[in-house]
Amino acid sequence: MRLPLVQARRQEMEGAARPAPVRVPGSEHESFPIPCYRSPQLSAAYTANVLICDVTLGPTRSWKDCAAPFAVEEALRSGQRQIVVASSGNHGRAIAYACRARGLEAAVLVYERTPADVVDSLLALGAKVYRYADRAAVHDALRAFRSDGWYAATLLDDLRLGALMPGSVGYRRIAHAIADAVAGDSIVIVPTCYGDGATAIEQHLSRLGRSPTMCLVRAAAGDGAIAASIATDVVTPQVAALNASGAIEVSVGDDAFRAGVLAMSATLGKRLDVAEGGTPEAMSYLKVLGALAKDKPVVCVLTGALYPGLTWN
């Protein structure tokens, strides 16, 4: 059975139309709509006030489009024109696109098991792609690139504590979209690998006077192909800090991801990143905990959309 894998930049590569960027006054960066709206279907299914924060309208159709331009600008300010990133897909494509737009060189480090379609999408955006056997080898390669003067848009574990992914200020736009859509504190469901994006959203919501409960959706350690692909088999300092602050973590297995991504795609009428398949499992878990209530909004952050031609084998 072939199922959707992860968001790819197919439309951009094939020259198809995409939403026109909106220039933000006083900003060098392209902006794009981030709608946050109530989902009648999910609200009815879970007897709660469920909203969708859709961050899939950017140039590479993932929430990494919020952070990547800022990471590129940070590199330029430091005098560097070569950026290296470790990525299973979305982050790499967003960095490759932002680098190409600003005339920088991008290198993306991936696992050997990364599907060919993902690699092809990165190459089509002008990135150099390097394959490695496992996470330890990727981090060794990151250190080597950094020692050669490359700007790293992925943090090594020994740098991650107390730091956020370069460009994380871009996630402020997601926090503002959520704050504008809901009046009170909310539960925010985020499919996440390393927790950088969820941490940044929480921090920006806090600066807006909100106290969100973050719900992290991560693949179950040691699971099969989907879990391995989205690289969620590690606990980073960001995730540990979020959990210590009261975040709820949901570990989701392959079967639940497969069923969930089909259910979410059908509900929203669009093809979604496989990571979104963990959202129904998270909603069900929150319901069992008794955390769902009509007076406490639940915001599901869509982190990526999928394009024709990319499938899960």
Domains of the chain: 10-63+168-302 (3.40.50.1100), 64-160 (3.40.50.1100)
Q: Rounded to an integer, what distance in angstroms lies between the CA atom of residue 130 and that of residue 242?
A: 31
pLDDT higher than 50, residue 8? no
Distance between CA atoms of residues 103 and 114, nearest Å: 26
State pLDDT tens for residues 9-44: 223 323 333 333 333 333 445 589 999 999 999 999
Q: What are phi and psi of 116, to 5 degrees?
A: -60, -35
Q: Tell me the pLDDT of the chain averaged across its residues.
A: 83
Residue with the bigger pLDDT between 88 and 248: it is: 248
The one-character DSSP state at 171 is: G
Q: What is the pLDDT of residue 135?
A: 80
The better pLDDT of the pair 232, 43 is held by 43
Condensed to tens digits (0 to 9), the pLDDT of residues 64-102 reads 999 999 999 999 999 999 999 998 788 999 999 999 999
Q: What is the mean pLDDT of residues 239-268?
A: 88
- Looking at the whole model, is its pTM more than 0.75? yes
Chain segment 116-132, per-residue pLDDT in tens: 888 888 999 999 999 98
- Please, are residues 89 and 65 in contact by the beta-carbon 8 Å criterion? no
SS3 content of the chain, % helix, strand, coil (to 5): 45, 20, 35
pLDDT value for 297 = 94
- pLDDT grade for 6, boundaries at 50, 70 and 90: very low
> What pLDDT shows up at residue 229?
57
Give bridge partners of residue 253 from the DSSP assignment. Answer: none
pLDDT tens string 37-66: 999 999 999 999 999 999 999 999 999 999
pLDDT band at 231 (very low <50, low <70, confident <90, very high): low
What's the whole-number mean pLDDT along residues 197-204?
Answer: 93
